[in-house]
A and B are shown apart, each in its own frame.
Chain A
Amino acid sequence: MPGPSIALGQHVDRLRWLERQAHERLRSAEERVNVVAERSIDRDDTAGVHLLVQMLSLMLAQARRTIDRDLRLALERPERAERVLGNVRGALGMAEEMVSASLEAVIFPPERDMASLVQPYIRLARAVTRDPRTELIFGTMEPFDYNVWPNSYREIEKNVEELAPDLTATVADLPRVAQIEYPAQADADTFLHAVVAHEVAHLALERPSSDPSYETEWHAVFERRRQDSAFAARPQDDPDVKRLSNWFRELTCDSLGLRLVGPSFLLALTEYLLPSRDPNYGPGTYRQPHPPPAWRLHRLRAQAVSYFDRPLRVPGRDVLRLAREQLDLYHALVPVDEYGSPRLDRRQEQTEPFIPRQPPPQEFLDAARHERNFLETALQEVVDNLDDWVEQARYTRGTFQRDLPLIWHKLDQGIAPAERVIDRRSRRWAPGETEWARAPGEFELQGPSSDWSEPVDWRSILNGGYFYYLYHSSLKASPGTLEEERRRDRDFNNSITRGSIELSELHRQMLELRTQFDWLNDPEDPAT
């Protein structure tokens, strides 16, 4: 049997080995964080990524100090070594898992289809959360789905007490960083990304409880209505009550999403939900968080149509009728049976042999019909108050009706619809044109300005580009139109739309930071 000195020698060897391994594993984790940090410089969502990687680096540095301290303790107090070493192994695993899980969706920057929408959606998120420090990180996911993680620090918060207790207060005071995930597949394009407004809407519902907030009001409406319904007697953790609560939340986000970006939201949601890639139908969907797709689309129709009501007297307003027709055509695709399955399409026919689809269980449909009245009544109260809740962030009817003819006209001429020439308007360049009608609370006719032009609202560009594409696509559609040609048309219109949004954003930045960027305007030429 080895004597005490031999046992002690083996103990020291073991600790040295574990120390080397711990340093190597932490170094690996730090390297992963550093790679993401280096790649984040050119990202459009760099601020959010920077906050996340900075916190991860701090956590790893603190974890390293904690592990080193524990290893020293194990060396000095061999009788406590096993327990202490257990902590070290646990801490290493937690640190690695924390880095992996936090960076999973952050590794690759947003690509062209999303890049121009990043800053606009960040501004929208700040407006709906009423927190100017809110940041968003965008990442792709392999399933064709959109998702939001309201808290990018969730893995850090889970581990801070164990790994870095000194950072607990720092983590609690961090600016909010949320993560939006969107499909990596080629079919996901700028038009379809209007759906992201639904995910941004979730952030409005999930603000911190210490903030007198939308969520409190939203939840209060749901609870008040529930107490008057057949679900009053059931506890809050009842599976059906939880599902109802989820459905209520999702339907509210639909209404809010449409308020945030306008009628293009309904077009995009229709395109996203109806084809066979819909993830909401399949085995075990009874308690899944989303209501039947057709119901979701039908109930948004009135809200979308309201953007076309009471047409303003703006030049070129005839295009409103053309756009409205496209909305109606898209809506005709939605199954009349609001609880029914999406109709079979060609993709589903092709994939049926190896991705079998099942109609929703009857109990799912029965539940949807039974709860309909309760939910619709509660939702009406939410919708009636939406404008108050999202005041600064909403996309108004007036802006939509004012901008759509301008965008249509520019696209007809092949011009990127990124700006409105104010100088033209102030000089009454078109004799005979009527003044724009004033719509109280919708928009104000701007007075004379020293600026040559102003940027067009990115949501007007998105709406205008989408409706314009659909209109011209419907003119061309015939049995002989090739799929490739349709794809090419869509790609081109996407391209001009996202490029125009990008130009509008650059314009907006220049105006907002006019003093800071004034030196970029120096026209002086040293030539004589």
Chain B
Amino acid sequence: MMLSEQAIKRRLRDRDSGLAITPLLDSTQVTEATIDLRLGPDLVVTRRETGVVAFDPARTTDLAAEIGQYQTYLRRPLGSAFYLHPGDFAIARSLEYVTLPDDLSAQALGRSSWGRLGLVIATATTVQPGFRGTITLELANLGRVPLVLYVGVRVAQLALHEAEGGPSSRRFHFRSRIRQA
């Protein structure tokens, strides 16, 4: 069952609920059934001219290290612009630190205002119960025009769902790899 605005706010106000979206800079971020998330200050961009034919997990012992050679970490202050050109891909994180209790899961979704411009914000959308950290956003510009994203702009939304059955036997404990909170 998806949580409504009132249910979300009730949980956020309850200091023992285990649900936290912090900092929530504006209460209007809680909409009818989702919570808007803002673009955080840390970005990882993949350089265009890598000279790499393919990233093939079958042909490399350390795919992450190989990919890392072609990525650049950027940090931008609040309100500054980041240009995402057509075809470009960047990894970002939400400004907010999210904590989910064991009885809630979430889905990270794009906002339709950005979707209409060609921005995809997430390719791995499910956030597991018990999650703690910032939400990783995989940004891709599928349009034909560069998009200007600003650190702090509302770029994604989180839909919360009740999860039945109690905590997982595998305790989920994740932190964003871009820059640890």
Contacts and interface: CB of A to CB of B under 8 A. Distances in A.
B12 A499 contact: no
Interface string A506-528: 11011101001100111111110
A416 B22 CA distance: 7
B170 interface: no
B59 interface: no
Interface string B95-132: 11101000000000001110010000000000000001
Interface in A215-229: none
A27 interface: no
Contact of B26 (A495, A499, A506, A521): A521
A424 B19 CA distance: 14
Nearest to A510: B25
Contacts of A455: 23
Given A42-B74, A510-B78, A419 B24 contact: yes
B24 A453 contact: yes
Nearest to A424: B13
A42 B76 contact: yes
B60 to A, nearest CB: 28
A7 interface: no
A270 interface: no
B79 interface: yes
A112 B15 CA distance: 30
Scoring A421, A430, A496 by chain B CB atoms within 10 A of each residue's CB, the highest score goes to A421
A481 B18 CA distance: 30
Interface string B1-30: 000000000001111101010111111110
Given A416-B181, A523-B31, A453 B112 contact: no
B142 interface: no
Interface residues of A, number: 43
Nearest to B39: A520
Contact of B179 (A112, A418, A429, A524): A112
B41 A414 contact: no
Interface stretch (B50-58, B147-155, B161-169): B147-155
Interface string A451-483: 111010000000000000000000000000000
Contacts, number: 112
Contacts of A72: none
B32 to A, nearest CB: 11
A516 B80 CA distance: 12
B27 to A, nearest CB: 4
A452 B24 contact: yes
B113 A410 contact: no
A423 B26 contact: no
Given A415-B99, A421-B12, A507-B25, A520 B181 contact: no
Nearest to B179: A112
Contact of B99 (A413, A452, A499, A527): A413
Contacts of B61: none
A420 to B, nearest CB: 10
Contacts of B12: 421, 424
A504 interface: yes
Scoring B24, B79, B97, B99 by chain A CB atoms within 10 A of each residue's CB, the highest score goes to B97
A527 B31 CA distance: 14
Contact of B23 (A410, A427, A503): A503
A398 to B, nearest CB: 21
B113 A527 contact: yes
Contacts of A453: 22-24
Interface of B: 12-16, 18, 20, 22-29, 31, 36, 38, 41, 74-76, 78-79, 95-97, 99, 111-113, 116, 132, 150, 152-154, 175, 179-181
8 contacts: A416-B22, A421-B15, A453-B22, A500-B97, A506-B152, A516-B79, A520-B150, A527-B116
Interface of A: 42, 112, 409-410, 413-416, 418-419, 421, 423-424, 427, 429-430, 451-453, 455, 495-496, 499-500, 502-504, 506-507, 509-511, 513, 516-517, 520-527
